[in-house]
Structure 1
Amino acid sequence: MSETISENIRIQLTDAQTIMDLSQLIQKYDAEIFLKKNVHGSMREANLKSILGLINLQLSGDDEVTIICEGPDAKEALEAIKDFLNQ
């Protein structure tokens, strides 16, 4: 059975973290993973498995985002993303 979960978080990125690192981290999960963020007054949503989508979100430290995961390993994916974005 497919599960959908979401959580709002404030991210804390370091200079050493890249969107490539995030992309590689989540490729092992079967879940569909999306991130929502307000970009210059417009709510944007991107599939985290898409590098272009990640670039368009313009992630930076102290951003508020919503992580949405849907699939058989949604909980595990959400926890891994939260851990990465709060290093």
Structure 2
Amino acid sequence: MEKSVSKDITVDISDKTTIVEVSKATQKYQSEIYLKKSVNGTPYEINLKSFLGLITLQLRNGDELNIRTVGEDAEEAMADVVSYLSQT
């Protein structure tokens, strides 16, 4: 059975970090990494490894996200994504 990890965070990205960098950094993981955000009451879930999905999500500081990782290295992928997307 595949590992699955989920965590809610508030986006707090430094001005020096771009979402494209986050996506590139996560390519090394075998796990799938999903970001879920509600926009005007409609939930959107994208694969972090998809540049088109990232553009659609339009992440901004203060956004509430649910991050879900699924796969063998799910815990490591989660830790890396959280460190990129939140300063806490």
TM-score by length of 2: 0.93
* Runs of 5+ unmatched residues, structure 1: none
TM-superposed CA distance for 1:40, in Å, is 2.3
Q: How many residues align?
A: 87
Single out whichever of 55-64 and 12-21 deviates more from structure 2: 12-21
Determine the structure 1 residue equivalent to 2:19.
19
TM-superposed CA distance for 1:11, in Å, is 1.3
Determine the structure 2 residue equivalent to 1:10.
10
Between the aligned partners of 1:50 and 1:69, the Cα distance in structure 2 is 14
Task: For 1:1-87, list aligned pairs within 5 A.
Answer: 1-87=1-87
Q: Report % sequence identity.
A: 45
SS of 1:53's partner is helix
Coordinate RMSD, CA, aligned: 1.0
Amino acid at match of 1:84: Y
SS of 1:9's partner is strand
Amino acid at match of 1:74: A
Between the aligned partners of 1:65 and 1:39, the Cα distance in structure 2 is 11
